[in-house]
Structure 1
């Protein structure tokens, strides 16, 4: 998928290729910092099939606001949820989860978090191709 197509996934800025976190993703993603005053808001765009590893937000939760394409969200031990533009997902602190694009379509969401002292992200194992292909 070329950059021009990815820029059309949502009305928010595509940003730069997400190289800082690339080791925690399968596939390419793009990151645009929209706000860093009190609440951190980023637009993350996933190329088709791109997903992040299982991970846990310690100390503070996260809110995902889906703004384009279709994607997946899954909490550990639960069924995956298909996401579309307009969906909102609240992820409580300490919940192991992953999110990313469906196999055949790019996906974009805003990720909103409130920084807290001592807060961190724990990156875990990748979502395997075998697990991912079962999603349909």
Structure 2
């Protein structure tokens, strides 16, 4: 067992992965035989990821604020503190903060056997963002 009490660095999310401001704190990282990763991600109001997918899926658990999540071909969903979202393996999606609220979530994902963690796609267009119903 390993207990870590050292502060973890918080870094700005890479601009090629996020539109707007977001910060990432690595809770666990892929290490040795473990392919499991957990990040705490804080999005500024209106910030969101680009379209992306994870080979083995992703679970998001909102810890603070109000956000949005959308899978390709579906409407957007509002997510709030306490909500958990399961995204299927290989499903294109984006997530981020609502326009007027910060949002923080824990992101859980596992890398594929070949080391692939995620595939980055295109930026979310305003047309895509405004398309489809907003599900409460």
Q: TM-score, normalised by structure 2?
A: 0.80
Matched position secondary structure for 1:94: coil
Of 17, 24, 43, the residue aligned with 1:31 is: 24
Partner Cα separation in structure 1 for residue 117 and residue 107 of structure 2:
15
Matched position secondary structure for 2:86: strand
Partner Cα separation in structure 2 for residue 109 and residue 41 of structure 1:
10
How big is the shift at 1:133? 5.1
How big is the shift at 1:48? 0.4
Which structure has the highest helix share of the two? 1
Q: In the alignment, does 2:112 pair up with 1:108?
A: no
Does the CA contact (< 8 Å) of 2:54 and 2:118 recur in 1? Answer: yes
Partner Cα separation in structure 1 for residue 18 and residue 88 of structure 2:
21
**Which stretches in structure 2 are left out of the alignment for 5+ residues?**
1-7
Partner Cα separation in structure 1 for residue 91 and residue 119 of structure 2:
11
**Which stretches in structure 1 are left out of the alignment for 5+ residues?**
1-12
Of 34, 51, 54, the residue aligned with 1:57 is: 54
Partner Cα separation in structure 2 for residue 123 and residue 130 of structure 1:
19
Partner Cα separation in structure 1 for residue 38 and residue 63 of structure 2:
13
Does the CA contact (< 8 Å) of 2:54 and 2:109 recur in 1? Answer: no
Partner Cα separation in structure 1 for residue 18 and residue 51 of structure 2:
9
Q: TM-score, normalised by structure 1?
A: 0.80
Does the CA contact (< 8 Å) of 2:110 and 2:117 recur in 1? Answer: no
Give the greater-gyration-radius structure (CA): 2
Q: In the alignment, does 2:90 pair up with 1:94?
A: yes
CA RMSD of aligned residues (A): 2.0
Matched residue count:
121
Partner Cα separation in structure 1 for residue 86 and residue 128 of structure 2:
23
